[in-house]
Amino acid sequence: MHTFRRSAALLALSLGTVASLPALAADELHYNQISLRAEVSQEVARDLMIVTLYTEEQNTDPAKLAADISTTMNKALAQAKQVKDITLRQGSRNSYPIYDAKGQKITGWRERAELRMESTDFAALSKLTGELLTDLKMGGMDFAIATPTRKASEDTLLKEAVTAFKARAQLATDALGGKGYKIVNLNFNSNGFPQPYMRAPMMMKAAGMDAAPVTPEVEAGTSQVSMTADGSIEVLMP
């Protein structure tokens, strides 16, 4: 009986020792590990122009009102489609009642419809905007980074971030007296590619019937974009 108990105890001890080996191996993976961060940035031109125009009217007859709005928007769409390299999107269209002074009786209806235009050809879109302002009103104008430009910028920044991270890793290795290092993990995050935010309506004089269309002057500017490389390395000691 005592022999059986002794053998069982030895077996349990052996199994416990074997089971602890993965834990020891896991601990060794974190030996001489340090976390690092590198960040790079660049100025990127905002090469996408975004313009929102709208028409707004009111009428006591909602059907007549809707027809007038549709006529105005269809005319603008037909004119805009004649210009190359401009993306057209119909924005929101809303209709709501107008009440009397007491707020009890509906006296009419008001409707508003928007036309959104995007292009990397600033000159063409500015000219078209001026022409459409004879029938529409300016809702807003903004500039963003076009998708192809953003992707190209991200690719460039990623390469630069890797180079910067490796430089920091080598610097840390030298400071610790290591003979080399290996990257344990590495993550990338990009910042500075804002979504377009429409500016407040611009104060512009609408072109008269006999006057030349007003072409808005534009200044797109740039945005500072960045890429961070966060990760950890294991320093190999002599």
Question: What is the mean predicted confidence (pLDDT) over 159-170?
Answer: 97
Burial class of residue 141 (count of CB atoms within 10 Å of its CB; 0-12, 13-18, 19+): buried
Check pLDDT > 80 for residue 219.
no
Q: What is the pLDDT of residue 146?
A: 93
What's the pTM? 0.70
Q: What is the pLDDT of residue 220?
A: 75
Round to whole Å and give the CA distance between 195 and 183. Answer: 34
Sheet holding 48-59, edge to edge: 87-99, 106-119, 48-59, 137-144
Check pLDDT > 60 for residue 1.
no
User: Does residue 133 contact residue 214 with C-beta atoms inside 8 Å?
Assistant: yes
Check pLDDT > 70 for residue 21.
no
Check pLDDT > 90 for residue 125.
yes
What pLDDT, in 10s, does the model give residues 127-152? Answer: 999 999 999 999 999 999 999 999 99
Task: Walk me through the domains of the chain, giving residue ranges and CATH numbers.
Answer: 49-142+202-219 (3.30.70)
What pLDDT, in 10s, does the model give residues 49-93? Answer: 999 999 999 999 999 999 999 999 999 999 999 999 999 988 899
Average pLDDT, the chain: 83
Residue with tokens 């419809």: 113
Q: How large a percentage of the chain has pLDDT more than 70?
A: 76
Determine phi and psi for 153, rounding to 5 degrees.
Answer: -65, -45
Q: H helices of 50-182, where?
A: 62-80, 122-132, 147-176
Q: Map 26-75 to HEC letters.
A: HHHHCCCEEEEEEEEEEEEECCEEEEEEEEEEEECCHHHHHHHHHHHHHH
Question: What is the mean predicted confidence (pLDDT) over 93-106?
Answer: 91
Question: What is the mean predicted confidence (pLDDT) over 169-191?
Answer: 94
Question: What is the mean predicted confidence (pLDDT) over 214-232?
Answer: 81
Q: What is the pLDDT of residue 206?
A: 40
CA dihedral 57, 61, 62, 67 (to 10 degrees): -70
What pLDDT, in 10s, does the model give residues 196-218? Answer: 544 444 434 444 434 455 555 66
Q: What is the pLDDT of residue 160?
A: 96
Residue with tokens 């030298």: 174
- Please count the CA atoms within 13 angstroms of the CA of 136 that sit on its side-chain side: 30
